[in-house]
Amino acid sequence: MMFETWWLLALPFVFGLGWMAARFDLRQLLSEQGALPRSYFKGLNFLLNEQPDKAIDAFIEVARLDPETTELHFALGALFRRRGETERAIRVHQNLATRPDLPEPEREHALYELGQDFLRAGLLDRAEESLRRLMSGPYAASAKRVLLELYEVEKEWQKAIEAARELQTLEQKDYRVQIAQFCCELAQDALQRKRPEDAVEWLRKATQENPANVRAPILLGDVAMAAGDARGALSHWLGIEQQDASFLPLVADRVVKAYATLGEQGQALAWLRELLKGNLAAELLDTAYRTELEVNGPVAAATLMREQLRRQPTLLALTKYFEAQAERASATAPEGQSPEASQETSQETAAIRDLLQARTRNLARYTCRECGFRARLFYWQCPGCNRWETYAPRRTEALG
């Protein structure tokens, strides 16, 4: 009983302590609110009323009066950049970066954000200037990554190689795939400038950097072909089968052209017919059909497509079969058939061909493994996410 009485006597004391603590917190809150500049509340009011320009002016005033509000500006600047309002983002971050009383870590943060703003706005020189001031310190790695992106946009491939090597050392991350592709870009530029020796040197460096790079032997074949060495070009292109056979469809037309230069179209057809028996048939069907049609005519092309339909029935093979039949019907009338009946057959075959062509024209697409961007053409660098070697050399949608 005495224990319960003691607690009853202590309750008023406990309540008294709670009341005093609440009063102290309330006074502290009111004191902190009173310390906030009026511009802070004006800025919030402008934001709520969808007046971002006036809100920025108000918050800049807050930053001038109270350095502790810089985080608010970083958040606003990032928000404006994400919304595509790069001029406002630049304005916010420039005011932060030029403040003489801003601590150095926050100044570096502002310069980094400003570099990204300029990059997004397309002001590449100013972006590089801002980011170049951050080559050491906590933002060095982040600045170099943005610089690498900038150099890719500008197609400054040698600078991109240097930036990638620096990042490779700084982050202990593998950039060999990207560096090899930058070398290939330089090789392609050299080829366009009619400097094959420089192109070969860059391709040698690409292979050294990444032996799995398939683009290098493709371009080496182009160099040999441009020099009139069709046999040498074939050795590069056909060697891709040992490296990664799935890339053969990318060089199929080149291989056919090289064999034609050597007068060995039969070799090209034999190579294509053998590949049609494997899992590359869908990718090589169009090249095989066109080559057979050109070398042996529509009857042989139709026979090849009929064989392919028996082996691997697909909508694309059916389309090519009717293309060959339409070519055959328009060239000669079947024996024993009247001209009127022949014309009617030709029109029906052409109608079926047109219907199938319309159905298959947009079926196949190359798809980026990273972002899902789909394209009719093959790209070494995805136009959607700018990643390298994210396109598989085979189209992902079924053709039948």
pLDDT classification of 139: cutoffs 50, 70, 90:
confident
Highest mean pLDDT among 215-229, 279-293, 380-394: 215-229
Lowest mean pLDDT among 10-14, 135-139, 152-156, 265-269: 10-14
What value does the mean pLDDT take over residues 130-144?
84
pLDDT at 3: 47
pLDDT classification of 399: cutoffs 50, 70, 90:
very low
What value does the mean pLDDT take over residues 348-374?
71
pLDDT classification of 193: cutoffs 50, 70, 90:
very high
pLDDT at 359: 63
What value does the mean pLDDT take over residues 199-225?
96
Is pLDDT at 398 greater than 50 in this prediction? Answer: no
Q: Which residues are annotated as a binding site for Fe cation?
A: 368, 371, 382, 385
Q: Between 182 and 17, whose confidence is greater?
A: 182
pLDDT at 186: 97
Q: What is the mean pLDDT of the chain?
A: 79
Q: Which residues are annotated as a binding site?
A: 368, 371, 382, 385
pLDDT at 372: 84
pLDDT at 33: 42
Burial 10-30 (b: 16+ CB within 10 A, else e): eeeeeeeeeeeeeeeeeeeee
Q: What percent of the chain has pLDDT over 90?
A: 32
pLDDT at 185: 96
What value does the mean pLDDT take over residues 145-169?
91
Residue pLDDT, tens place only, 207-219:
999 999 999 999 9
Residue pLDDT, tens place only, 301-360:
889 888 988 888 877 777 777 777 877 776 555 555 545 444 555 666 666 666 656 666
Is pLDDT at 63 greater than 60 in this prediction? Answer: no
Lowest mean pLDDT among 46-50, 134-138, 188-192, 266-270: 46-50
Tracing tokens 């024209």 back to the chain, one arrives at 361
Residue pLDDT, tens place only, 260-289:
999 999 999 999 999 988 888 788 888 998
What value does the mean pLDDT take over residues 373-392?
88
